[in-house]
Structure 1
């Protein structure tokens, strides 16, 4: 395990019946980098995310996070370890306000417990105030301050994506795993997302990114890993990966080089 690696996994395999969704997949994410996981639809990218974040149990694999061996058995365990993720399909609490959605993310670090929530001790009230202040700061960070009181379901699609990122950041992650954050965005929203992701990295966070927008991943990622049929077919700098014959054949096509 290299000291500069935040996430280091190897030989990760996952079957669904007779289908091998992941076949001995390995991936490394250095501290402070943006790493892209790309490939055609059905390549196993989201399955990999689901395994490393505790949604699916792995059939096998070696998992190291920030130098410590772990096996992702539950979402809460993974979140507490410092790995947060978003989803392909937006999963906000639509009836709750934008601010409340971010506050939900903060509560994974809450110390109040059940008794504090019931009896509203002074320490609990102070913590709730701190959570609200932190959530407001995160909304400002992603550009959603003006919408804090709006129901999340009434946000535009691009703003809902930003809200998901804010909620994930509220968990205080070491690694932010984003599953197709640019999906459905127009050109302006993608540019704003690009600037946000670069700012998140500049502020010391590490990002693992699934994304089909080739220009986005090529423009911001430090390293790319490419999956096809559950196997890694290439891994390296974006400039090298885009010229890899197997990647061109399976995913990019001749016109992308």
Structure 2
């Protein structure tokens, strides 16, 4: 097997003496969809933030495309080729859908501030290219008809799609999605599933954190399950679903779920 596109080894992160992530390891091969799930407070979001540069690990190693990295910032991680969305929608709601996607391409542009001020021919050519590519990604996620609508005027499901389009616009090797189905109705979730399968078909790798276990099990190649910051199961969806530890975490632990992160 080839070296993984991404790997995390023995990640640890504590807050106030409490281990939110405790010795977590996972890897993603090129073209794979990997799910990261667990009950509320299991450490999923902390782990996700370690991978994508919002947090710095207390211990452990991260590697991307075969090279170790220390996530200095989300911007640095995005330039490496790892794009993410957020659990809480983070769009520029007073900007159009097209403008929001164009913003996601900033790491790939070359003209800089001076070119924008002087409106040089090279800057204008690059701007036209950016607009064309932004439209491509809006059509790709199914909202091309709303390119000139303000992001804040889009439906909830379309705002989620817009976030994915913006992430894809940076042409990442790995797309990290944080609860993309959160708040969606059944119809919106079905459309999301179709979109994620299309992204996978087109060769993108995906790291997916999601509470909708049915969605995860339906599209992921492998799933890692966390509970209290520790990995309690890793394997195919079938293997994970049959794990006694997973069954206990989701069913036996319901009485204390509300007190967890």
Judge same fold: TM > 0.5, yes or no: yes
- What's the CA shift for 1:127? 0.4
Change (3 A) 1:218 1:123: same
For 1:144 and 1:223, how far apart are their aligned partners in 2? 30
Q: Is 2:3–2:66's contact at 8 Å kept on the other side of the alignment?
A: no
Residue aligning to 2:111: 112
Residue aligning to 1:192: 191
What's the CA shift string for 1:209-253, capped at 9, x where partnerless?
A: 001111111111000000000000000000000000000000256
For 2:184 and 2:250, how far apart are their aligned partners in 1? 21
For 1:67 and 1:253, how far apart are their aligned partners in 2? 39
Structure 2 residue 210 is the aligned partner of structure 1 residue 225: no
Structure 2 residue 5 is the aligned partner of structure 1 residue 6: yes
What's the CA shift string for 1:79-132, capped at 9, x where partnerless?
A: 000000001100000100010000000111110112111111111110000000
For 1:253 and 1:140, how far apart are their aligned partners in 2? 44
Aligned to 1:26, what secondary structure does the other structure show? strand
- Kindly report which structure 2 residues correspond to 1:36-51, keeping only aligned pairs within 5 A, or say none: 36-51=35-50
- What's the CA shift for 1:4? 4.1
Aligned to 1:56, what secondary structure does the other structure show? coil
Residue aligning to 1:127: 126
Residue aligning to 1:245: 244
Provide the TM-score with structure 2 as the length reference.
0.95
- What's the CA shift for 1:3? 2.6
Q: Name structure 1 gaps, 5 residues minimum.
A: none
For 1:187 and 1:22, how far apart are their aligned partners in 2? 32
For 1:3 and 1:61, how far apart are their aligned partners in 2? 22
What's the CA shift string for 1:122-144, capped at 9, x where partnerless?
A: 11110000000000010000111
Q: Is 1:33–1:222's contact at 8 Å kept on the other side of the alignment?
A: yes
Residue aligning to 1:21: 20
Moved over 6 A (4+): none
For 2:105 and 2:63, how far apart are their aligned partners in 1? 25
Aligned to 1:178, what secondary structure does the other structure show? strand
Q: Is 1:242–1:252's contact at 8 Å kept on the other side of the alignment?
A: no
Q: Is 1:105–1:167's contact at 8 Å kept on the other side of the alignment?
A: yes
Change (3 A) 1:252 1:199: farther
Aligned to 1:125, what secondary structure does the other structure show? helix
- What's the CA shift for 1:14? 0.5
Q: Is 1:4–1:31's contact at 8 Å kept on the other side of the alignment?
A: no
Q: Name structure 2 gaps, 5 residues minimum.
A: 254-261
Aligned to 1:28, what secondary structure does the other structure show? strand
Provide the TM-score with structure 1 as the length reference.
0.96
